[in-house]
A and B are shown apart, each in its own frame.
Chain A
Amino acid sequence: MDELITAIIGKYNYWAFLILLLIGLHAMISKNNLVKKVIGMSIFQSAIILFYVSIGYKKGASIPILSHGHGPEPIHQTAAQIVAGIANPLPHVLMLTAIVVGVSTLGVALAIIQKINRVYDTIEEDEILEKIKEC
C-alpha cells in the first residue's frame, strides 16, 4: 500500500499529461471537422510541452536565472548547492523552440483549411471525400 502511495505521489503529473495527450489524439482521429482536428493537434503538442517542462523541475529549486535569484548569495555556496538550487534550463530552451514551431504549423494548417473551404465549400472530412470521388 505504501509503495502504491509513493508511486502515485511521484508520478501523478505524468498521468495528467498522458490524459491530455490521449484527448488530443482521440480528437485528431475521430473528429470529422478539420478545425477540430487541428485543435486536437494543439492539445497533443501542449501535453508534450508540459511533460518536458515538468522534467526540468527540481524540488525546492529556483528559476534558471542566476545572480538576481532568490536565496543566499552564490558566493557563500558550494558548486553542488548552486546546481541543486537552480532548475534545469535545457527543457525550457527546447520547449521554447517547440512552442514557436507549433505556432507556425498551426498557422499553416489553418491556412490550408481555409483554402480547402474555398475549393470544396465544406470542412467536414466525409463530405470532402465524397466530392473528391465525384470529380
Chain B
Amino acid sequence: MKVVSLVLTLALGALLLLATEDLPNWGDSDSPASLHLSNYYIENSMEQTSVPNLVTSVLADYRSYDTMFETTVIFCAGITVLTILRRSHRKKKKEVKPRPKGQDHDLILISAARMIAPMMQLFALYVVAHGHHSPGGGFQGGVIFGASFILLALAYDLETVLARLKERSVLIMSGIGVAIYVGIGTICLVLGGNFLDYGAWSKVLGVSVVEAHSHGMLGVEIGVAITVMFIMFSLYADLSSGGEMDEGL
C-alpha cells in the first residue's frame, strides 16, 4: 500500500509541478486574480458600506447569503457530533473512577485559568465588536470565546463548567445565533428591501443607508459569534467525554 501510494502521489506531484508553470509569479500585482473583481471591492466598499475592513464587508455584506449557510454548516456539525456520540442517560449509577494521583485539580493551573479566562472573554468581545476596523469578526471572536470555556474545562473538569453552562442552553443558544442572522435578513424583507440587504434598516435605525449596512453587519457578526462560541464548546465537550458529558479529560 505504501508503494502504491508513493507512486500515485509522486505522479500527481509531477503533474501539478508542470501546472505551476502557467501560474502567475508570486506577488505579481497584475495576476488575473487581482485584475477583475477584487478592484471593484477595493474602490467601492467604503462608499457603499462605510466599513474599512474589506474582508468583513465582503463576507458579511456582499456575500452575506453564503456566510448565512456557512453558519448553518457549523450548527449542523455540532448537532451531528451530538447525534453520533450522545448516549441516553443510563439509570444505573456508574462507579466513579477516582482520578489517578497527580491528575486531580492542579492549584497553579486553576489559578492561572481563573485569571486568564475573563481576559480572554473580554478580548473576544473586542474582536467581534471591532471587526469592522481591525482584523477580526464573528468567527474569530467566537472561537476565542469558546476557547475560554475549553480552558476552564481543562483546568477544572467538564462537570464544573457544565454546571454553569447547561448542555441544553448551549444548544439553544447556538440555534439562537443562526436565528439572529436569519432574523436580520427577514426584517430587511419586511422593511421592503431584499433578503439580507441591510440598507432597508435605515428606516428603523434613523441612519443613512450606508451606515445601516455597517450596523446590519455588526448584528450579523454577533449572531455568527454566538453560534461559533457555543458549538466549539459543544464539540469539545462531546469529543472529550465520548458523549457521556460526565468527566471529560
Contact = CB atoms under 8 A, between A and B. Distances in A.
B133 A65 contact: yes
A14 B24 CA distance: 10
A58 B73 contact: no
A21 B17 CA distance: 12
Interface residues of B, number: 60
Interface in B53-76: 53-55, 58-59, 63, 66-67, 70, 73-74, 76
B52 A61 contact: no
B34 A63 contact: no
Contacts of A59: 27-29
A89 B63 CA distance: 13
A29 interface: yes
Given A65-B54, A89-B55, A54 B5 contact: no
B46 interface: yes
Interface string A93-108: 1001100110111011
A88 interface: yes
Q: Per DSSP, are chain B's interface residues mostly helix, strand or loop, or mixed?
A: helix
Interface in B1-60: 1-2, 4-6, 8-10, 12-13, 16-17, 20-21, 23, 25-29, 31, 33-34, 37-39, 41-43, 45-46, 52-55, 58-59
A18 B12 CA distance: 10
Contact of B34 (A11, A56, A103): A56
B85 interface: yes
A18 B41 contact: no
Given A54-B26, A65-B134, A88-B38, A107 B9 contact: no
Interface of B: 1-2, 4-6, 8-10, 12-13, 16-17, 20-21, 23, 25-29, 31, 33-34, 37-39, 41-43, 45-46, 52-55, 58-59, 63, 66-67, 70, 73-74, 76-78, 80-81, 84-85, 133-135, 139, 228, 235, 238-239, 242-243
Given A11-B23, A29-B1, A96-B139, 4 more contacts: A9-B25, A10-B26, A64-B42, A115-B85
29 contacts: A14-B26, A18-B17, A22-B9, A29-B1, A54-B26, A56-B38, A58-B29, A59-B29, A64-B55, A65-B54, A67-B46, A82-B43, A83-B39, A88-B33, A89-B42, A89-B55, A90-B37, A90-B41, A93-B55, A93-B63, A96-B139, A100-B73, A103-B77, A105-B77, A107-B235, A108-B80, A111-B238, A114-B84, A114-B239
